[in-house]
């Protein structure tokens, strides 16, 4: 398999990233995330990505043969966080699992910087991925929070 091509995202990518996020959520979370959370993302996600991509710094998109297959977004967290950098989003299509696309997006978006990422309590695949990349589960205060998109889904912070 060839390597997916990764480039910085731009303002014209909002709809592509929105649709890609919906597809990734459907593939990875369908049995865990309630339908109303998917519907909320479907309704409001495009406007959110249009706003994010007005200043697209920190957003990367992966393409394979002209089709978007993954993306990542890294952000500065601000004062009071355990890490100054957060990998806010990293998603790849199921067809990309094991291809190296997620690892390449991780490398391009955060390099070897100290970072934090939030992982759903049921997402063993993501935990293994981040652990392999040097992250560990944070056991400190504030390390577990409820997902803003769906009640009763908890996220745990992983740090490196």
Per residue in 109-127, pLDDT (tens digit) is 999 999 999 999 889 999 9
pLDDT of res. 110: 97
Mean pLDDT of all residues in 91-99: 96
Q: How many CB atoms lie within 10 A of CB 72?
A: 26
Distances in Å between the alpha carbon of 112 and those of 18, 20, 45, 106, 133? 27, 26, 29, 9, 9
Would the pLDDT of 29 be above 90? no
Cα separation, 28 vs 21, whole angstroms:
10
Confidence band, pLDDT 50/70/90 cuts, at residue 152: confident
**What are the structure tokens assigned to 20, written together?**
């890609």
Of the candidates 32, 109, 33, the one whose C-alpha atom is nearest the C-alpha of residue 70 is 109
Judged by phi (left if over 0) then psi (alpha if -120 to 50, else beta), residue 64 lies in beta
Which neighbouring-strand residues pair with 90?
72
Name the phi and psi angles at 74, rounded to 5: -115, 140
Residue ranges of the domains in the chain?
5-159
**For residue range 63-74, what is the model confidence (pLDDT) as tens digits?**
999 999 999 999
pTM summary value: 0.91
Would the pLDDT of 15 be above 90? yes
Q: Pairing relation of β-strands 136-137 and 144-146? A: unpaired
Q: Which CATH class is domain 5-159?
A: alpha beta
Q: CB of 57 within 8 A of CB of 10?
A: no
Cα separation, 75 vs 89, whole angstroms:
9
**For residue range 68-94, what is the model confidence (pLDDT) as tens digits?**
999 999 999 988 889 999 999 999 999
pLDDT of res. 31: 83
């Amino acid at each position: 398999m060839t390597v997916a091509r990764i480039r910085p995202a731009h303002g014209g990518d909002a709809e592509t990233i929105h649709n890609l996020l919906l597809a990734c959520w459907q593939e990875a979370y369908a049995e865990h995330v309630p339908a109303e959370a998917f519907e909320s993302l479907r309704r409001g996600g495009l406007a959110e990505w249009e706003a994010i991509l007005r200043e697209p710094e920190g957003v990367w998109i992966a393409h394979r043969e002209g089709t978007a297959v993954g993306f990542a977004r890294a952000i500065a967290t601000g004062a009071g966080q355990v890490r100054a950098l957060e990998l806010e989003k990293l998603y790849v299509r199921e067809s990309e699992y094991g291809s190296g696309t997620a690892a390449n997006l991780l490398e391009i978006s955060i390099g070897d910087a100290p970072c934090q990422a939030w992982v759903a309590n049921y997402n063993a695949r993501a935990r293994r991925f981040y652990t392999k990349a040097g992250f560990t589960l944070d056991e400190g205060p504030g390390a577990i929070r409820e997902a803003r998109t769906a009640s009763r889904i908890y996220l745990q912070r992983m740090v490196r």
